[in-house]
Amino acid sequence: MLQGLPKQSQAKAAPSTVKEAEEDVYLLAKSYFDVKAFRRCAHALRNTPGPKALFLRSYSLYISGERHREQQQAESAGNAAGTNAPTSSNQELRQLERDLTAAAASGKGDAFCSFLLGLILADLARPEEAAAALASSVAAYPCNRDAWVALAKLQQGSSDTQLSSAALPSHWMRDVYLASVALDAQENTEALSRLQALAETFPESEWLIAQAALAQYNLRNFDTAQELFEDLLKRDPNRIESMDTYSNILYVKEEFVPLSHLAHRAMASNKFTPETCCIVGNYYSLKGLHDQ
């Protein structure tokens, strides 16, 4: 394709052509990933440099390993009926950990590679290293919510992985994370304080309202929590998320009419969610129909 160009033009065009070819390979691999052909995705990227390709290749192998592990567990459970089936592990973890650790050490990774490394280290039961990798990830890219969620799970799981807030980036996502951790630890007053501070920046956030309602519920401030849940329903009448907690309040206060309306709305929106089952259960229980 470049033979008709002068040699100087060829030299200038070659890097661009190589980059375009790598982008084409990445797009092909991404199309494999989108249809869940994870092994094909990883194979397509085997020689493609760069952190973006490294992450997609590694993540594809991680998911493929998880899928294979689940299949093995299902087969073991079927073959060992009546006995405790042996647990299987993701066979890709150790090689992926080596690859991603090497990339981080050489500066060839990025925030998403550090995020995946954190997940892998957590799966390998190395929580302190996992927390460090995830903290590095959110420092480089604070808006990766999945990294914060994974970090919060580690904080819940062991006192050995408690991170100082000073180790986290100065960003509003840090405050969201600290509020979530406080709420999970039943430190509801602290959670409310952080949520109220965030609400000054994001006054229309339904997530913040829902978390504040849950904190008020945990503090047994049912009237305040009810007002917040009702505000959520005014904003989104078909909301299901967190409405199971609202139904608990209506049940305790024996408010049959709003509980009936909530149950009918939930059934119309999505009758098979856990939240709907809880709402309908409270409705029937308040009616005295305990069998249903």
Span 92-107, pLDDT tens digits: 999 999 999 999 999 9
CA dist 262 and 257 (Å) reads: 9
Each residue's pLDDT tens digit, 190-248 = 999 999 999 999 999 999 999 999 999 999 999 999 999 999 999 999 999 999 999 99
pLDDT of residue 253: 95
pLDDT of residue 9: 46
Each residue's pLDDT tens digit, 136-157 = 999 999 999 999 999 999 987 5
Measured between alpha carbons, how far is residue 242 from residues 93, 104, 250 in Å? 35, 39, 13
pLDDT of residue 75: 81
- In what helix (H) or strand (E) does residue 2 lie, and over which residues does it extend? none
Task: Write down the domain spans for the chain.
Answer: 171-231, 237-292
How many helices (H) and strands (E) in the chain?
A: 14, 0
pLDDT of residue 262: 95
pLDDT of residue 157: 59
Topology of domain 171-231, CATH: 1.25.40
pTM of the model: 0.81
Mean pLDDT of 9-30: 76
Question: Binning pLDDT at 50, 70 and 90, where does residue 288 land?
Answer: confident
CB hemisphere CA count around 241 (13 angstroms) = 8
Each residue's pLDDT tens digit, 115-142 = 999 999 999 999 999 999 999 999 999 9
Instruction: For residue 197, give the 3-state DSSP assignment.
Output: helix
CA dist 263 and 285 (Å) reads: 12
Minimum mean pLDDT among 93-102, 209-218, 254-263, 279-288: which range? 279-288
